[in-house]
Structure 1
Amino acid sequence: MPNGIVIIDKPADWTSMDVCAKLRGILNERRIGHGGTLDPMATGVLPVFVGQATRAVEFAENGEKEYLAGLRLGQVTDTEDTSGRVLETFPVAVTAADVAAALEPFRGPIQQIPPMYSAIKIQGKKLYELARKGQEVERKPRSVTIYELELVEQVNETDYVLRCRCSKGTYVRTLCHDIGRALGCGGAMYSLRRTMAAGFTLDDAVTLEDVQRRGEELLLPTDSLFQQHPILLLKSDKLEKRVRCGNPISLPGTADGTYRVYSQDRQFLCLSQARGGTLTSIKNFFGA
């Protein structure tokens, strides 16, 4: 059965779940999940987890992400991007220097009010379901972090390209909306390309057509998600047996931290935490 991670360059007008459904058919594997939703408008890096690797999805979802976002000044829409209904239009008289200066307050920890057209649930109802019925409900601000935000290009007098590296839960279209509001002329996102997620970049990405042609050979090993953590190789059958049974093991002198743990024959077993000379599994990835 196929197991591993494939980094898809998601095409426009596909949902993330559309991509997973397509890959279930191509790879003939039911257990497939993605590491962070992209709106249909968006393209770019979508890590998809296949088979046993689906156990790692939670680690991909929580990581930093990077985007190239198209900001269109002069209009406000109900979805905060140009796929929505235009609510207001304004003349645009700002310069590239004005846009660059307006980014400063949005760097670092900020508060965002989630858009109505989002999958967040309030009282069991997804916001976009309420929005489609013409309803609007109060949303509480959420804390997110914008690690990097810069102006990359001025396309014309209304359109700009921004690069944003941000935390989980950031709505880039809300960021565009809020920047437009700060500039006094409104703004909406007209394009979005994710260039990095879970440590994977566009250099790692393949198309659905590539997977259709080449299949399982494009799957990356599950441990490729954890390259930032050092390797810990178990040196005895006894230690390996304890790890496979889910028990902590004693490894005096091991520095505190997170490790990729491997069997003697270099099979990836688990992601583990070392503390005070004791190694405890965070998540197991070996088969039953």
Structure 2
Amino acid sequence: MDGRPQFLMTDPAHFDICYQINPWMRPADWDADRAACQQRAVAASRALKSALRVAGAQVETIEGVRGLPDLVFPANAAVVLDGKVLVASFRYPERQGEEAVFRSAFMQLKSRGLVREVVNLPEGVIQEGAGDCIWDADRRLFWAAHGPRSSHSSIAVIRKTFGQEVVPLELASDRFYHLDTCFCPLAGGKLLFFPEAFTPAALAEIYARVPAAQRIVATAEEAAAFCVNAVNLDAKVIMARAPETLRRKLQSRGYSLVEVDLDPFILSGGAAYCMTLRLDRTSQPSSAFLAAE
């Protein structure tokens, strides 16, 4: 790697919404005009990839697979830190076919030196990748969710695999089924999150580690727009189209928004973060942009 942020994405040629495993998925809306929805999905994926590259990132793209429509959400494929890849194990049968595809992709990345080690979860442990396990570069710890998708037993596995502190967070409902739908650490130590997605115990963990001055609270409208499901690169926050309220909140803290029309993927319950997997995360101290107070 050459020092630029490195992301994995999936070609959306076989993206589809043909089942429902989260409350956001709307197969009927997709079926109403499949050709138009597919064209918009391809354009949206291309726009996100372009936004990442303009922001200075490199993007690796794997091919889609017919019959695996959610392969376009590689954030769920693995947890990656210091070149070590912990491959996901999915709860729902609809996504379990992705595991072998992503494992093969990671082995190819290893052969090219883009990752150094590929590790499997123990049998019976469910953990849905970086969607439920987010590295906080400023605090140098993982925030790891359990509940709707990932099992509580995954917390100890993550801790042992990476040798890093892991803060467990229980999610309160299927509506915010992955941590990345409601929780986004930002450069400079800020945290964009939707409190109602968490149990009281999980909120207590967040409040104990993130001072009030560093919390940016998303409203229900902002969370429903999938704007918390964002990619942060220093001062830039790449996300789905945002309500004006969120633009003002982030801009007042020194961040600039790069908004992309990701509506076809929001119909499936995912957006910018879900559609990417950061490959170059490191546990070394960050020299991140420090957003103004």
- Range of TM-score over shorter length: under 0.3
Indicate the structure with greater strand content: 1
TM-score normalised by structure 1 residue count: 0.23
Greater CA radius of gyration, 1 or 2?
1
Indicate the structure with greater helix content: 2
